[in-house]
Amino acid sequence: MKLAFFDTKSYDREVFEPKLKKSKIRVKFFDTRLCEDNIALAKGFDAVCVFVNDEVNSKVIDTLGSYGVKFIALRCAGFNNVDYKYAAEKGISVVRVPAYSPYAVAEHAMALLLTINRKIHKAYLRTRDFNFALKGLTGFDLHGKTVGVIGTGKIGRVFIDICKGFGMNVIAYDKFPMEGSDIDYRSLEEVYRDSDIISFHCPLTEETYHMFNLGTINKVKKGVVIINTSRGALIDSEALLKGLLQKKIGATCLDVYEEESGYFYEDFSGEIISDEVLSRLISLPNVIVTSHQAFLTKEALENIADTTIENLITLEKEGTSPNEVK
C-alpha cells in the first residue's frame, strides 16, 4: 500500500515512521493539509491519512476516487471534516481512531480549569519578573462546585471521575445516557442552568453545531466557566465573546475553535491575525486558548499510530475494519 500522509508534524514522523516501515506500508509525508487546492498531491497513492483540520469534502473525494484512492484514514476520533457518506457512495472506506487516550483529553480539560481558576499562567509570568504580588490571583474552591459534563463517552466519563476526585458535584447530559451507570443525568437545560462549570465532551454533528449559543448563554449561571476540548463549532464563538464581554460568562478555556483550521498548529507570532473573534478572545484576561493539544501525550500518539496502521492493514486484507465510519 502507498500512503499519502497529510498535515504532518514532527511528532507524527517520530511515532509513525518506524511503525510504518515495519508494516511495509510505503509512505510519503506532506506538511500541508489536504484540501481542494493541493489534492493533486494524493495522485498515485492507495490511501490518505488525514487529521482534524484537513478538508475532505465531496470535491476532494471525487478527485481521490479518480486517482484510485481506496482508503481515508483519520488519525483522530472525530470525523466531522470528512464527508464519509459521500465517500461510501464512491467506494472509499473511511476509518478513524475512536479511542487513543481519554485520559489525555480529560486531564487537559482539568489542567485548563485549574489554570484559569487559580491564575497559574499569570503567576508564572509574574514570578519570572520577580513580582510576587498576589493581587488579581484569587480563585475559588472546586470542592463543592457543580460541573456540568455534556457528552459522557470515554473522555467525558474520565473527566467526571477527575471532578469527583476534587469533591465536585457532577451532573451530565447525553442524548444516549449510559445504562447502568451512576452518572446523574439531567436535561440539557438543567445542566446549563445549574452548573458552575460546563465542559463539552461530545462529537460535532448537525445537531450539536452551535449547541452553545446566545440563547443558551442566557440560561447559564452568571460567572459560569466554559471548557471546550472537543470540537470548536459546538460553541458559537461570537456568542461566547459577547457573553464574556457582558460578564455573563466568568471564564473560558478553549483547546478548540470553530475557525481553527487556518491557524492552529502553525506559528503566526510575527503576523496580524485577521480573525477578529479569535484575536479578541485571546486578548481577554479570563480566557485561555491552547492550540488543539489536548490529545498530545506520548501514550496517545503511540495508540493513534498503532490503530491507524492496523486500520489500513485490516482494510486492505479484509475490505472492512471495526473502526470504519459508516
For position 156, which CATH number holds? Answer: 3.40.50.720
The predicted model gives 282-294 an average pLDDT of: 97
Whole-angstrom distance, CA of residue 227 vs CA of residue 241:
14
The residue segments making up the domain with residue 121 are 102-289
Alpha helices in 42-148 (DSSP H): 58-67, 84-89, 102-118, 120-128
Co-location of 62 and 122 in the same domain: no
pLDDT recorded at residue 221: 97
Co-location of 283 and 313 in the same domain: no
The answer to whether residue 250 scores a pLDDT higher than 90 is: yes
pLDDT recorded at residue 147: 98
- Given the residues 143, 231, 258, 316, select the one marked as catalytic: 231
| Segment 192-201, tens digit of pLDDT | 999 999 999 9
Whole-angstrom distance, CA of residue 191 vs CA of residue 171:
7
Co-location of 116 and 263 in the same domain: yes
The answer to whether residue 262 scores a pLDDT higher than 90 is: no
121 tagged catalytic: no
Decide if 119 is inside a domain.
yes
201 tagged catalytic: no
Q: What pTM does this model have? A: 0.91
Decide if 325 is inside a domain.
no
Co-location of 204 and 114 in the same domain: yes
Which run of H or E residues covers position 161? helix 154-165
Decide if 30 is inside a domain.
yes
Co-location of 219 and 88 in the same domain: no
Decide if 324 is inside a domain.
no
210 tagged catalytic: no
Positive or negative torsion for Cα 300, 174, 95, 256: negative
pLDDT recorded at residue 78: 87
Banded pLDDT at 24 (limits 50, 70, 90)? confident
Co-location of 32 and 164 in the same domain: no
* Chain-centre distance for alpha carbon 173: 19
Banded pLDDT at 326 (limits 50, 70, 90)? confident
pLDDT recorded at residue 325: 94
Co-location of 225 and 123 in the same domain: yes
- Given the residues 128, 260, 266, 318, select the one marked as catalytic: 260
Co-location of 83 and 214 in the same domain: no
Decide if 323 is inside a domain.
no
Banded pLDDT at 60 (limits 50, 70, 90)? very high
Burial of 157: CB neighbours in 10 Å, binned 0-12, 13-18, 19+: buried
Banded pLDDT at 219 (limits 50, 70, 90)? very high
| Segment 84-108, tens digit of pLDDT | 999 999 999 999 999 889 999 999 9
Co-location of 59 and 96 in the same domain: yes
How many Cβ atoms are within 10 Å of 89's Cβ, its own excluded? 12
The predicted model gives 231-238 an average pLDDT of: 97
> Do 287 and 252 meet the contact criterion of CB atoms below 8 Å apart?
yes
Number of domains observed in the structure of the chain: 2
Decide if 65 is inside a domain.
yes
Co-location of 140 and 185 in the same domain: yes
Residues 6+ apart with CB under 8 A from 163: 110, 142, 147, 149, 170
Core vs surface per residue 205-227: b (16+ CB within 10 A) or e: eeebebbbbeebbeebbeebbbb
What mean pLDDT is reported for the chain? 96
User: Phi then psi for 295, rounded to 5 degrees?
Assistant: -75, -10
Co-location of 153 and 201 in the same domain: yes
**CA end-to-end span of the chain:** 22
Decide if 131 is inside a domain.
yes
Co-location of 153 and 184 in the same domain: yes
Please name which of 313, 315, 307 lies closest in space to residue 24, comparing C-alpha atoms.
313
- Given the residues 292, 299, 310, 316, select the one marked as catalytic: 292
Which run of H or E residues covers position 190? helix 188-194
Decide if 253 is inside a domain.
yes
